């Protein structure tokens, strides 16, 4: 099947800290022919990274915790989310450069080795965000405390947690953000191989 689509129009409907664009499109149908015109708003988030910081020697994962507005509005009793390091790729930066930078800024961790786990859309029905998910080898012996940049209003609690406990947190529903769930499940499948590769 020859899959095609056409953009019939575009407008910016909101410009603030983030931008929202509205698109008018049509596309070919699996059964033949073309769809009617479809109008959809697109939240322009841009490309981002996330890093699962892992110490193979201590078998610990570096977790961060911070206030999240959407969580606070939707579930006020669960306004602080347990996550992994992440951030937006600015113009002129590579995904790898952002991974190293954000790991220092958000967790005080220096990455010793870095590998790509996968790349994916987070919410392709509404967001432009494309994530490069990494795993970074770190030394967790000095990990902890409060980190983040003041000018970005970041207030991030950092801790190194045994992998078994992290997985229990996942199973118990204590981790509610999709990206760390994906990363931790990947680590559960690849942990022994990673320890061998990184000398854990």
Annotated catalytic sites, by residue?
152
Determine which helix (DSSP H) or strand (DSSP E) holds 21, and give its type and residue range.
strand 19-27
Half-sphere exposure of 107 (CA within 13 A, CB side): 34
What secondary structure, in 3-state letters, does the chain show?
CCCCEEEEEEEEEEECCCEEEEEEEEEECCCCCECCCEEEEEEECCEEEEEEEEECCCCEEEEEEEECHHHHHHCHHHCEEEECEEEECCCCCCHHHHHHHHHHHHHCCCCCEEEEEEEEECCCCCECCEEEEEEEECCCCCCCEEECCHHHCCCEEEEEEEHHHHHHHHHCCCCCCHHHHHHHHHHHHHHHHHHHHHCC
| CB atoms closer than 10 angstroms to residue 12 | 10
């Amino acid at each position: 099947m020859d899959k095609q689509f056409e953009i019939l129009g575009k407008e910016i409907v909101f410009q603030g800290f983030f931008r929202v664009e509205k698109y008018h499109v049509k596309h070919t149908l699996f059964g033949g022919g073309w769809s009617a015109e479809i109008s959809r708003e697109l939240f322009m988030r841009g490309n981002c990274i996330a890093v699962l910081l892992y110490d193979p020697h201590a078998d610990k994962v570096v977790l961060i915790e911070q206030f999240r507005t959407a969580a606070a509005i939707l579930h006020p009793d669960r306004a602080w989310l347990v996550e992994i390091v992440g951030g937006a790729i600015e113009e002129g930066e590579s995904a790898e450069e952002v991974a190293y930078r954000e790991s220092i800024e958000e967790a005080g961790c220096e990455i010793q080795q870095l590998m790509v786990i996968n790349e994916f859309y987070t919410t392709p029905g509404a967001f432009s965000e494309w994530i490069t998910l990494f795993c970074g080898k770190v030394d967790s012996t000095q990990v902890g405390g409060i980190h983040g940049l003041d000018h970005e209003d970041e207030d991030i609690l950092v801790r190194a947690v045994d992998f078994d406990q992290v997985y229990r947190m996942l199973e118990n529903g204590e981790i509610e953000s999709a990206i760390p769930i994906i990363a931790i499940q990947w680590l559960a499948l690849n942990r022994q191989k990673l320890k061998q590769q990184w000398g854990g």
